[in-house]
A and B are shown apart, each in its own frame.
Chain A
Amino acid sequence: MTVLLDPTSERTPTRRPRLKRPDRLDGLTVGILDIAKARGDVFLKRLGERLGERGIAYKHYAKPTNTRPAPLPLAQQIATEVDVVIEGLSD
């Protein structure tokens, strides 16, 4: 029998179920997160306008760079200010 040392971080991932998606956006505030990919701002600005036309409240947010995870204060701000988030993932 050989004994080997575990080269991993030995984490057991916890699977968390996704939050149930709302059936309607009425009365909810939508966060729109620009991750700073090229021209994402153009697309997301238009998306905000379309939501506004339907009377849905929205707020724009932006990450400083797409190359790093969102700063914690920004993630916390979004979590406390809106009900759902739309995030641009790529260009």
Chain B
Amino acid sequence: MTDLPRDGLVAVVKRDCPTCELTVPVLAELAARGALTVFTQDDPTFPEAIADRIDDTRLDMSHSLKIEVVPTLIRRTAGTEADRTYGWDRAEWERVAGIVGLGAGLPQQRPGCGAKNIEPGVIERLKIRFNETGLKSRRIEIGGDEDEYEAMVARGWSDGLPLVPPTEERVLKMLDGTSRDPQEVIGIVPPDLAAATVEKIAINAVMAGCKPEMLPVVLAAVEAVLDEKFAMHGVLATTMFVGPVVVVNGPIRRQIGMNSKGNALGQGNRANGAIGRALQLVIRNIGGGRPQEVDRATLGNPGKWTYCFAEDEEGSSWEPLSVEKGVAPGKSAVTVFAGFGLQGVVDQKSRTPESLARSFAESLKVLFNVKSAPSADALIVISPEHHRTFRDAGWTKARVYEELYKLTQIPGEDLARGAKGIDEGGSPDRAGTMVSKFRPGGLMLVRAGGEAGMFSGIIGGWSSSGPRGSTPVTREVKL
């Protein structure tokens, strides 16, 4: 890199800036006085009027000088910077140059243009070249003859599908999505009990296909599953089907383009897909939780690839799930639930809330096994058309919870081992009593789905629901 003059003026310009073009006569005047060094950012032939202009298209000098706007004029004295100005402002230039009467024919003032060295994509490459990224993770060099996609799978980082290579540049851009310190520890990830820093989570978010603006949601989801109450170790290690289900509320849903409408639980939306996948990759790569190792799931469920959706809050008569969980209205939040695949509730005939509640209750009673009670928690994803029936009848969310809890009381004799010709079941001692299918507070309602279709969904929970196992956890999204 060219040395800077010990004493004198330095200007940084680019051709693609009308204000730089405007100041060319001034630069020529200063150069004629023999005290100016000009660095050009984009076109080495600019400005033609300065014969000994210096090519800085690599932007090394611009980066070293921390140029943010062009033109920038700097005065150096005894080897250090004494003063600087940017844009065109006659009085400022005269002060920095120590010369009066500059640019007589020019307007008094013109704003400058953004410098090339701080453009997105460029600043990251410069930080990498100057070793200023601050990233602490181990660098892994993939040889030129090696296919980087295969190399990632070979190292065990993949959930089974191709990953986006986590280059330094991509990870730096990802970290722009949060104001949190890259070395902040979000939590301790089981089963290895390893610290999840924002940086490590960002690397996994890159691999999952997230955009930087999705990172705050991923961080909130990681923080939520690592809350002691969620019991992530058990959720991972159990032989049951469950994995974390992520429900997103608040303005961030729309800001990052999440789907809460048609096919909300299905494929096709980048944010829904990538956020849920990033969470799973964090458990796998930072925590070391892998199937057939500490993840002992007998079958698992397809949601263990990714299981994340947004609540359809617009048009709902009910408070969003986050508000129900204590987050202020208008704030973004995630709620995590240890759940498994989807059981449909198809009811196209009920037009009264009483009938529809019974319909839901009967469907809920078969969760796990028709003979199983008390059973696990459940997350009910109610479609707009089903919600409408409750809304039009004036049923609050609390009322629906209350009715469903009452309607899922089961006679103890029906649950006894051997009853209905099924050996599965509980103690015959419960005959003559009513047994609750769900613990109080064990049901959650979320509104999502397309406008058409009297189809809702039940996401069953873990057998160890509640305080002895996993409790849903809500966390506000911090930007």
**A67: which of B142, B157, B234, B288 is its contact (CB, 8 Å)?**
B234
Produce 1/0 per residue, B169-212, CB < 8 A to A: 00100000000000000000100101100001001100100000
The reply to whether the CB of A14 lies closer than 8 angstroms to some CB of chain B is: no
CB of A7 within 8 A of CB of B469, answer no
CA distance A56 to B288 in the complex (A): 39
**B140: which of A3, A11, A67, A69 is its contact (CB, 8 Å)?**
A3
The reply to whether the CB of B5 lies closer than 8 angstroms to some CB of chain A is: no
CA distance A64 to B189 in the complex (A): 21
CB of B234 within 8 A of CB of A66, answer yes
CA distance A66 to B165 in the complex (A): 38
Produce 1/0 per residue, B223-239, CB < 8 A to A: 00000000101100011
What chain A residues lie within 8 Å of B192 (beta carbons)? Answer: 9, 11
CA distance A21 to B138 in the complex (A): 39
The reply to whether the CB of A53 lies closer than 8 angstroms to some CB of chain B is: no
CA distance A3 to B135 in the complex (A): 13
CB of B464 within 8 A of CB of A5, answer no
The reply to whether the CB of A6 lies closer than 8 angstroms to some CB of chain B is: yes
CB-contacts of A21-77 with B (<8 A): 64-69
CB of B142 within 8 A of CB of A5, answer no
What chain A residues lie within 8 Å of B168 (beta carbons)? Answer: 3, 5
CA distance A73 to B50 in the complex (A): 76
CB of A3 within 8 A of CB of B141, answer yes
The reply to whether the CB of B456 lies closer than 8 angstroms to some CB of chain A is: no
CB of B231 within 8 A of CB of A68, answer yes
CB of B166 within 8 A of CB of A8, answer no
What chain A residues lie within 8 Å of B258 (beta carbons)? Answer: none
The reply to whether the CB of B92 lies closer than 8 angstroms to some CB of chain A is: no
Question: Interface extent on B, as a size class?
Answer: 35 or more
What chain B residues lie within 8 Å of A69 (beta carbons)? Answer: 233
What chain A residues lie within 8 Å of B189 (beta carbons)? Answer: 9
The reply to whether the CB of A80 lies closer than 8 angstroms to some CB of chain B is: no
CA distance A55 to B148 in the complex (A): 62
Q: What does DSSP make chain A's interface, helix, strand, loop or mixed?
A: loop
CB-contacts of B101-156 with A (<8 A): 135, 137-144, 148, 151-152
Q: How far is the CB of B204 from chain A (nearest CB, A)?
A: 5
CB of A8 within 8 A of CB of B285, answer yes
CB of B288 within 8 A of CB of A5, answer no
The reply to whether the CB of B279 lies closer than 8 angstroms to some CB of chain A is: no
CB of A11 within 8 A of CB of B194, answer yes
The reply to whether the CB of B375 lies closer than 8 angstroms to some CB of chain A is: no
- A6 touching B138 in the complex, CB below 8 Å, given contacts A66-B234, A67-B468: yes
- A8 touching B148 in the complex, CB below 8 Å, given contacts A67-B470, A68-B234: no
Q: Which of A1, A4, A8, A67 has the most chain B CB atoms closer than 10 A to its own CB?
A: A4
**B469: which of A5, A9, A65 is its contact (CB, 8 Å)?**
A65
- A1 touching B143 in the complex, CB below 8 Å, given contacts A7-B203, A7-B281, A68-B231: yes
CB of A7 within 8 A of CB of B286, answer yes
The reply to whether the CB of B45 lies closer than 8 angstroms to some CB of chain A is: no
The reply to whether the CB of B350 lies closer than 8 angstroms to some CB of chain A is: no
CA distance A1 to B167 in the complex (A): 11
CB of A9 within 8 A of CB of B231, answer no
| Closest A residue, CB atoms, query B191 | A69
What chain A residues lie within 8 Å of B285 (beta carbons)? Answer: 7-9
CA distance A67 to B190 in the complex (A): 12
CB of B165 within 8 A of CB of A8, answer no
| Closest B residue, CB atoms, query A8 | B285
What chain B residues lie within 8 Å of A65 (beta carbons)? Answer: 234, 464, 468-469
What chain A residues lie within 8 Å of B165 (beta carbons)? Answer: 2, 4
CB of A8 within 8 A of CB of B469, answer no
Q: How far is the CB of A68 from chain B (nearest CB, A)?
A: 6
CB of B148 within 8 A of CB of A4, answer yes
What chain B residues lie within 8 Å of A5 (beta carbons)? Answer: 135, 137-140, 166-168, 171, 203
| Closest B residue, CB atoms, query A90 | B239
Q: How far is the CB of A63 from chain B (nearest CB, A)?
A: 11
- A2 touching B148 in the complex, CB below 8 Å, given contacts A7-B203, A8-B157, A66-B234: yes
CB of A6 within 8 A of CB of B286, answer no
CA distance A10 to B157 in the complex (A): 12
What chain A residues lie within 8 Å of B468 (beta carbons)? Answer: 64-65, 67
What chain B residues lie within 8 Å of A6 (beta carbons)? Answer: 137-140, 203
| Closest B residue, CB atoms, query A67 | B234
| Closest A residue, CB atoms, query B287 | A9
Question: Assuming A4-B165, A7-B200, what are 18 further A-B pairs, CB within 8 angstroms?
Answer: A1-B141, A1-B143, A4-B140, A4-B152, A5-B138, A5-B140, A5-B168, A5-B203, A7-B203, A8-B288, A9-B192, A9-B286, A9-B287, A11-B192, A11-B194, A65-B234, A67-B468, A68-B233
Interface residues of A (CB under 8 A from B): 1-11, 64-69, 90
Q: List 25 A-B contacts (CB under 8 A).
A: A2-B141, A2-B165, A3-B139, A3-B141, A3-B167, A4-B140, A4-B142, A4-B165, A5-B171, A7-B137, A7-B203, A8-B157, A8-B285, A8-B288, A9-B200, A9-B286, A9-B287, A11-B194, A11-B288, A65-B464, A65-B469, A67-B238, A67-B468, A67-B469, A67-B470
Closest 9 A-B residue pairs measured CB to CB? Answer: A9-B194, A67-B234, A6-B138, A67-B469, A5-B137, A7-B285, A7-B203, A2-B142, A65-B468
